[in-house]
A and B are shown apart, each in its own frame.
Chain A
Amino acid sequence: MGNCRCYNRRTVTRQPISVKYIQKVGTGADDFVTLPIVNVSGTTYDVIVIGGGATGAGVARDCALRGLRVLLLERHDYNHGASGRNHGLMHSGARYAVTDLDSARECIEENNILRRIASHCIEATDGLFVTLPDDDMSYQATFVEACLKAGITAEVIDPQQALSLEPALCPDVRGAVRVPDATIDPFALTHANVLDARLHGADTLTEHEVTDLLVENGRTQGVRALNHRTGQSQEFHAPIIINAAGIWGAGLLHRAGIDIQMFPAKGTMLVYGQRVNQRVLNRCRRPSNADILVPDGAMCLMGTTSDRIGIDEVDDMRVTDTEVSLLMREGEKMVPQLAQTRLLRAFAGVRPLIASDNDPTGRSISRGIVCMDHAARDGMEGLITITGGKLITYRKMAEQATDLACRKLGVEAVCQTATTPLPGSDSPANEWDNYNPTHRSNATRRHGTRAQDIPMASATDRTIICECRQVSVGEVKYAIEQLQCHNLVELLRRTRLGMGVCQGKNCVCRAANLLAHISGDPDKAQRDLQRLLDERWKGVKPVAWGNALRQAQLTATIYQGLCGLDQAVNDRKEDQP
């Protein structure tokens, strides 16, 4: 009866941690076959892409679809930077119509394309631009005119109609304009791009930080990257380097003797534990602080602020009480009910803007795409920087960078990304063999039609480990095999496990146990568990009063008091490599 596993007596000294890359799963419930990673060191590439945000992933996909041999290097994990720290708003472009017409046009074009190629990442919510008693009513006409000029549908509706569409809206609303805003899941978007790049032969490596450009006679030859998992440096070679590292690219270029003036603009957002609006709500005024409320599944996000920060601060951005108070105050003006809605957490991202003038907030800097050919600009052949833009113009950015790369390589290949759907959006989500409909719909929302690849054969695979987000054991396995997931925080980015309203009271422990089993490294799983709790706490701390503080005490009581997780991790710290 049953099978049996042995854990032999061990001393506390641990061997250096080796990360296993899992590529295949057996037919049995728990039989993982672990294979060593594809050896990429000998390969010659056409293009190396630096940065695994939406843009870098988009470039890798575009290159791969055009038949180029491409390697993507990401410093930490996909969407670790700005692509994972935004409100997931799929702009219609209306927000920029008055102040930045070019950017608005880029937005609406890409908005229409993404609806076709990334349907599984998008909720077509629509958006309203509302005029509140504080706002200048005359701005509405300017706004509508600018929208139409940019090619954005903008329909003025009666304030009463706006209230019937959005009952939670401020009852004193004076005007409303309907625009084709939507929401987009930036995690699903980036992973779909990475997945497709890999399916078309791209190599993609996470935890590989590019430390230097290899330059010879004014030409880039490749890069040197530090593998954070092993601590070893390695060289990769390609004639074309595309820098898609956002704000983090500036330092790298500086070391190669090239200076671009980046403008790190910090934007802070609040996450509320209940969805109070069906559509994206914007203030109908010049883009300013705290004027967007974006629905996100069963929650909603209030954003944003914009403050220039030092380049040295971009890796440790902390949300301040002033920012939280401003967002709360302005949010409650738009939707009074937010005052009674539970605040879950706050987070900040950094926009990779290119500095143009002495604007202290960065609000007036164009959100337009910047594609730099450093051969022309700095005499460095083979180096391209793609930056600026918005999350939703990532594809266009990728197209421009890849076009330039192709010209330099003398390759004639047409961009296909505007018409070829991403994996998961390739056909309408059809029924797949799974008897739990809630799980099915949740997994489909995250992975689109690819959810059919989630193992569901055994009872273990079907076991749900996160009730809020309906994540199954099978989905965790899928994330590990298909989405390059190596630890709990990465798992959270790929499945949203533990991000629901319960804030992962039990499910993160279940996931840690599962990862301990799969990786065979329980010490690492425990460290990851504590790291995950700390990461999430970073987001909760700025709003740690009321229910958020209550929940924090409960989490600490379970993991510190009852379980002694801190002890299990700290007592063995000295033994870590």
Chain B
Amino acid sequence: MTTLHTLIIGGGLSGLTLGIALAKTGRRVSIVSAAPSTLELNGGSMELLGCVDGQTVAQPIDAIARLPKEHPYSKIGPEQCALLALEAVRLLGDSGIHMDGSAECNHWRITPLGVTKPAWLSLRGMATATQPHCLPWSRATLVNLPGFMDYPIHLVAHNLSLLGCDIMVRDIEVEGLSRPRRLASEMRAANLARTIGTGSKLRRLAEAINQTCRDDEAVLLPAIIGLEDDYPSGLLRSWVSAPLHFLATMPPSVPGTSMAGQLRHYFKMLGGKFLSAETIGRAQLTDGHVTALYTAKSPTIPITAEHYVLASGSLMSQGLLATHEAIIEPLFGLDVDAPDGPDQWSRYGLLGDQPFMRCGVLTDARLHGLKDGKPIDNLHVIGSILAGHNPLTMGDGHGVDLLTALSVAHQLTQT
């Protein structure tokens, strides 16, 4: 049995990106994934850098130079970030995820509330804008699927109309929705994708849209089509006579679920091994070196690899754990950058600059995890578990996932 080149803990955006980059070069890679990825919260766009020091960023690559030195991008370096950003777009495209946008210049995604936020990449077919306060249409139709509640249509219509666009809300009754409506859990976006987003139902949805909105300048539909790939959404767009664009919904997100699935699929196609619903229960360290990992299900069978990468996510993915006393990284006990005590982790006013969003694992310049101040030479740390960034106030979440993963991939393939 040949030894494993890299074992990745965490099957989210960063773990899968690294897995794919390594597997493409023929390395043996395994990913251990505990739970579904937070890509389920994704609205069909990726962010690289949206805000620095409270100022909205138009040119993310240029703005990277202004970031503090502890930011993961600063560790990678601005020039390298620009190259890795291009590489990330290619890798996503190879996985079947076709996204438009540029790292040089942000465009604007439309959120599930109908407000605009800076974005680096957006899935083909998503409604986007090139200006923050202006939509590319003067008149658009917003399709309402009565009973689908995870899309706050009255708020969206209002917020879009404030961007200088006349919005018409049209109800479209779709066959097959009357039964699911009994239960809210059956009316989630992902379930609609299964019930009305395939086969003859999809055809009928197109016909219904065509009947109601034939000559409209633009038709906006909640993104409920294409749970596995973008084939059905492409079909629908070709069947609908008016220009059709998709709008992000409340989670679970269909485009996000589809992206996660496509990355997983591509990783497996390349020969990678993906262990889902599996957690690493214990890590063995000898002389500041990781020697083995043990899964929770098989606590006596060691898994060994040349390199280990921690991509287990932040608090909400349980990569970090907050006890009553401290915020810790539970697996290796890595050094965590966090204020002292629960009182300091958060502030009143939930949607502000929350200290807990910045908490994360400390690394050296090459993203080796630090334990008691010393780097562990065969353990890298990537993605949202890293300290020094804040996806909510800086809009840098996906970029940190993708770029730290690719940066570590370069290091591991050069050795």
Q: Which residues does A use to contact B, with CB under 8 Å?
A: 1-12, 321, 435-436, 459-460, 462-467, 505-507, 509-510, 512-513, 516-517, 522-523, 525-526, 530, 533-534, 537-538, 541, 544-546, 549-568, 571
B228-277 residues with Cβ-Cβ distance < 8 A to A are 248, 250-251
Extra contacts, 19 of them, besides A513-B153, A556-B350 (Cβ < 8 A), are A2-B144, A6-B166, A459-B146, A459-B147, A459-B178, A463-B149, A522-B157, A530-B351, A534-B349, A538-B348, A544-B346, A545-B345, A553-B357, A554-B41, A556-B357, A562-B41, A562-B111, A563-B111, A565-B113
Given A549-B322, A550-B318, A556-B357, A537–B251 Cβ distance below 8 Å? Answer: no
A510 to B111, CA, bound (A): 15
Q: Does B38 contact A (CB under 8 A)?
A: yes
Residues of chain B with a CB closer than 8 A to A558's CB: 41, 250-251
A505 to B40 alpha-carbon distance, docked (Å): 14
Question: Most B CB atoms within 10 A — which of A321, A534, A564?
Answer: A564
A residues within 8 A CB of B321? 546
| B residues adjacent to A (C-beta < 8 A) | 38, 41-43, 111-117, 144, 146-147, 149-150, 152-155, 157-162, 164-173, 178, 181-185, 187, 208, 211-212, 248, 250-251, 314-316, 318, 321-324, 341-343, 345-346, 348-352, 354, 356-357, 391-392, 397
The number of A-B residue pairs with CB atoms under 8 Å apart is 205
Select from chain B the residue with minimum beta-carbon distance to A4.
B170
25 A–B pairs (Cβ distance < 8 Å), ordered by A: A2-B212, A3-B171, A5-B169, A7-B167, A8-B166, A10-B161, A321-B341, A467-B185, A506-B150, A506-B250, A522-B155, A522-B159, A534-B349, A545-B323, A546-B323, A549-B342, A557-B41, A559-B350, A562-B112, A564-B113, A564-B115, A564-B116, A565-B351, A567-B115, A571-B115
Q: Return the contact of A463 from the options B113, B169, B181, B341 (Cβ within 8 A).
A: B181
Per CB-CB distance, the 3 closest pairs between chain A and chain B, nearest first, are A2-B171, A513-B152, A522-B158
Contact, CB under 8 Å: B351 / A560: yes
Residues of A contacting B356 in the complex (Cβ-Cβ under 8 angstroms): 544, 549, 552-553
With the chains together, A509 CA to B189 CA distance in Å? Answer: 14
List residues of chain B with CB within 8 A of the CB of A554: 41, 316
Chain B residues, CB < 8 A from A561: 41, 391-392, 397
| B interface majority secondary structure | mixed
Chain B residues near A507 (CB-CB < 8 A): 184
Q: Which residues of B contact A2 (CB under 8 A)?
A: 144, 170-173, 212
The CA of A530 and the CA of B113, in the complex, are separated in Å by 13
Which residue on chain B has the smallest CB distance to residue A530? B351
Whether B350 contacts A1 by the Cβ 8 Å rule is no
Q: How far is the CB of B246 from chain A (nearest CB, A)?
A: 15
B391 in complex: contacting residue of A12, A537, A557, CB < 8 Å: A557
Known pairs A6-B166, A553-B315; A544 contacts B391 (CB<8 A)? no
Contacts A1-B173, A510-B150, A549-B322: A465 and B184 contacting too (C-beta < 8 A)? yes
B-chain residues with CB within 8 Å of residue A571 when the two chains form the complex: 115
A509 to B155, CA, bound (A): 10
Contacts of B397 in A (CB 8 A): 561
If A513-B152, A522-B159, A557-B392 touch, whether A460 touches B147 (CB-CB below 8 Å) is yes
